[in-house]
Amino acid sequence: MLPVGATAPEFALPDATTGRLVRSADLLALGPLILTFFRGRWDPYCSTEQEVWRDLLPRVREAGALLVALSPQTVRQSDFMAQQHGIGYPLLQDANCAVAAQFGIAYTVSQAMQQYYRSILVNLPFINSGKNVMAPPDSSVWHLPLPATFVLDRNGTVRFAEAHADFRVRPEPEDVLAALP
């Protein structure tokens, strides 16, 4: 995982609601940035976390910061999520977890977990790319990010970094907000 003090990689990803390309450099020019990586709207822990950030967005803005969420799910899935949960900040598509990999938090879903997800009707190949559920096990659609949160200062330096292999564990929002420069 990208540690505190490291320089975050730059990225440009599509926004689910506007379709526009969102560049991290443009966001950082406006102020500090909170990045939250989530697995997808199919995960109730991720949805709940995004709802918490939705409710805290006024505090983020009062601190002069911006907030974006990144997920491998398709733009359409993120658009559904934004509408369903009233998300007012950008939900960006990190296809194949390319940016998550640069932050050191991407992983390939094991074959056992792929079978489990199929058994509970979580169709990651479709959710993440529109592909069929029978996508080969080594396909890039079976990549997910660890749920993670980073705070970047205006220079792109990581001021807070937290990720957990246990998808149920998320950072305390107060700790994240306290890390804003």
Domain coverage including residue 169: 12-108+142-178
Write the pLDDT tens digit of every residue in 141-160: 789 999 999 999 999 999 99
What sign has the CA pseudo-torsion 54, 19, 73, 71? negative
Match 């505190």 to its residue by tokens: 4
The pLDDT, as a whole number, for residue 131 is 66
97 a catalytic residue = no
The pLDDT, as a whole number, for residue 136 is 60
In the set 46, 151, 163, 176, the catalytic residue is: 46
Counting as low any pLDDT under 70, the low residues of the chain are: 131-140
Phi, psi angle pair for 168, to nearest 5°: -85, -15
CB 30 within 8 A of CB 63: no
Residue 113 placed within a domain: no
Write the pLDDT tens digit of every residue in 99-120: 999 999 999 999 899 899 989 9
In the chain, the number of structural domains is: 1
The pLDDT, as a whole number, for residue 124 is 87
Residue 89 placed within a domain: yes
Residue 125 placed within a domain: no
Residue 41 placed within a domain: yes
Output the domain CATH number for residue 76.
3.40.30.10
C-alpha distances in angstroms, 58 versus 55, 61, 64, 89, 98? 7, 5, 10, 11, 29
CA 96 to chain centre: 12
